[in-house]
Structure 1
Amino acid sequence: MKEILAIVRMKKTGATKRALIEAGVAGFTAMRVMGRGKLVHDENIITPCKDILKGMAPDDVIEEHESEEQIVTFLDDTRMFPRRLFTILAYDEDVPRIVEAIMKANRTERGAGDGKIFVTPVTDAIRVRTSESGDAAIW
């Protein structure tokens, strides 16, 4: 038995849920988390993000230099971002199919920030209500 932890963009929550259901996942848990990935230094990725954020800044409310400063701190390594963490338990042989479904649902053309997936072994599981353990506690 394995545990799959998938950290994805908030906007990809619905797509990830659909992908998991279509992949035949019996159940999963999703929670809101805050996190930060590796800092991106590639200007080909950063510049379009800056341009989009500048276009969203209200000109009549905030000075241009203040807006620029907020955008830079948003894109540098000082900010945590909201993400969704999915936890899935799966049989070993189902892991590749589930991981592929998560990747397909979350891959974008942005070049960064599409998420991470971790697969770890599970040594046991216990259903509190019945004291069943192992597979019987899950499925």
Structure 2
Amino acid sequence: MKEIMAIVRMKKTGATKRALIEAGVAGFTAVKAVGRGKLLPHDEINVPCKEKLMGMAASDVIDRRESEEQVVTFLDDKRMFPRRLFTILAYDEDVPRIVEAIIRANRTERGAGDGKIFVTPVTDAVRVRTGESGDAAIW
């Protein structure tokens, strides 16, 4: 028995739910989370992002220097970003199929921030309603 924890973009919540259901997952938990991944010092990713954000800045509300400071703060390694954390318990043999479904639903062409998946062993599970334990408790 394994626990799969998947951290995904908030906008990918619906796609991830559909992918899990299509992969045959009987149940899962999803909670809001905030976090920070590795800062990518790649100009080919950061410069277009900075330009896009600067283009969205309201010049009639704040001046360009203040806008640029906010954008740089947003892109540096200090800000936490909203994410969704999915938790799934699965049989060992189902893990590759579930992980692949999560990857397909969340991979983008952005080059960063698509999420992380962690798979850990689970020693036991207990269904509260019936008292069943082990594999019987997860499906």
TM-score of the aligned structures, taking structure 1 as reference length: 0.97
- Equivalent residues of 2:126, 2:134 under 8 A apart: yes
Which 4+ runs in 1 deviate beyond 2 A?
Answer: none
Aligned to 2:47: 47
Give the secondary-structure state (helix, strand or coil) at the position aligned to 1:109: coil
Aligned to 2:100: 100
Shift of 1:59: 1.0
Percent of counterpart pairs with the same letter?
A: 81
Aligned to 1:73: 73
Give the secondary-structure state (helix, strand or coil) at the position aligned to 1:67: helix
In the alignment, structure 2 segments of 5+ residues that lack a partner are: none
Distance 1:111 1:13 in 2: 19
Aligned to 2:10: 10
Distance 1:45 1:89 in 2: 35
| Structure 1 letter corresponding to 2:52 | I
| Structure 1 letter corresponding to 2:74 | F
TM-score of the aligned structures, taking structure 2 as reference length: 0.97
| Structure 2 letter corresponding to 1:29 | T
User: Structure 1 residues 46-55 or 80-89, which shifts more?
Assistant: 46-55
Shift of 1:130: 2.3
| CA deviation vs aligned residue, 1:25-53 (integer Å, no higher than 9, x gap) | 11100000000000110000001111111
User: Structure 1 residues 116-125 or 45-54, which shifts more?
Assistant: 45-54
Aligned to 1:30: 30
Say if 2:21 is the partner of 1:21. yes
Shift of 1:90: 0.7
Distance 2:14 2:31 in 1: 13
In the alignment, structure 1 segments of 5+ residues that lack a partner are: none
Q: CA RMSD in A?
A: 0.7
| CA deviation vs aligned residue, 1:90-120 (integer Å, no higher than 9, x gap) | 1111100110010011000111000000000
